[in-house]
Amino acid sequence: MSTNLFNPGQSGVAFYSSGQLPKTFSTQCKASELSQKQLALEYYDRGLKRYEASQLEHALTDFTAAIRLDSNLAEAFNARGSVFAELEQDNLAIKDFDEAIRLQPKSTLAYSNRATVFYKQKKFAEALADLNNDVAIFANGPAYVRRATVLNILKMHKQAVDDCTKALANSPGLVIAFLVRGQARLALQQFDLSISDLSAYLNAEPTSAVAYWLRSHAYAFRHDERSARTDYLHAIRLDPFLASLAVRN
């Protein structure tokens, strides 16, 4: 639902803490025949459909109605928080994620979603704390990669390498892990391993300016000036802004 700041271009929000879709009730039923909790799920389900149709304000109304009917519906707080995040209302988003976590501290996806907001706000220590919980709950490939991204920012590169390795063991097709691990290995001056990871990522994502840019530095540190220049020129053709940046370990 919100932009995934750990993997640009992909959705950053998941709605279902159990991996199950909420129950959908027949539109033939009258509201009077449904219990409050059933009606709350009806609003929640409609909110998801409206979000998928990019009707954010209507989705927000439906999630709010679901919460009014069932104040223990953690999924609705998570979903509404995600809409608030997409609408750039970060404080309201965090408040809803806080409530989702209070209601389901051992199973919620709100840790990951709240971490996304903290990441955007450059509150990396807070993001890492939430991602530690996210990994403890789900221990899947995406969770490890999200945490590795923050670990790199906090210069905890060895831990980032470990997380990306676990991510690839868990999800071999999660190629973003090669990019994040390649960045970590560059910072650790493991240039050959960095080049290997970044090359693996570029095989899957051949238009990634960042991957070419990082690999150009790895080649430069290895004194392979021809390869470094080729990658650097390729990177700035794809994204001229990169020409103004320097590698930060």
- Please tell me the pTM assigned to this model: 0.84
Asked if 67 and 73 touch (Cβ cutoff 8 Å), the reply is: yes
Based on the number of CB atoms within 10 Å of its own CB, is 130 exposed (0-12), middle (13-18) or buried (19 or more)?
Answer: buried
% of the chain residues with pLDDT over 90: 83
Asked if 102 and 72 touch (Cβ cutoff 8 Å), the reply is: no
Q: Would you state the structure tokens that stand for residue 120, as one six-digit string?
A: 């955007």
235: confidence class by pLDDT, cuts 50, 70, 90: very high
Q: Tell me which of 10-14, 89-93, 129-133, 208-212 is least confident.
A: 10-14
Q: Output the pLDDT for position 86.
A: 95
pLDDT over 90 at 48, yes or no: yes
**Residue matched to tokens 């990396």:** 124
pLDDT over 90 at 31, yes or no: no
Q: Output the pLDDT for position 240.
A: 93
What average pLDDT does this structure show over 153-165?
98
Asked if 229 and 201 touch (Cβ cutoff 8 Å), the reply is: no
What is the rounded distance in angstroms from the CA atom of residue 39 to the CA atom of residue 159? 45
104-to-1, 2, 41, 110, 205 alpha-carbon distances in Å: 20, 21, 17, 9, 37
Strand partners, 11: 3
7-to-64, 111, 221 alpha-carbon distances in Å: 28, 16, 27
Q: Would you state the structure tokens that stand for residue 35, as one six-digit string?
A: 């219990």
Q: Output the pLDDT for position 248.
A: 52
Classified as helix, coil or strand, 11 is strand
Q: Output the pLDDT for position 151.
A: 98
Classified as helix, coil or strand, 108 is coil
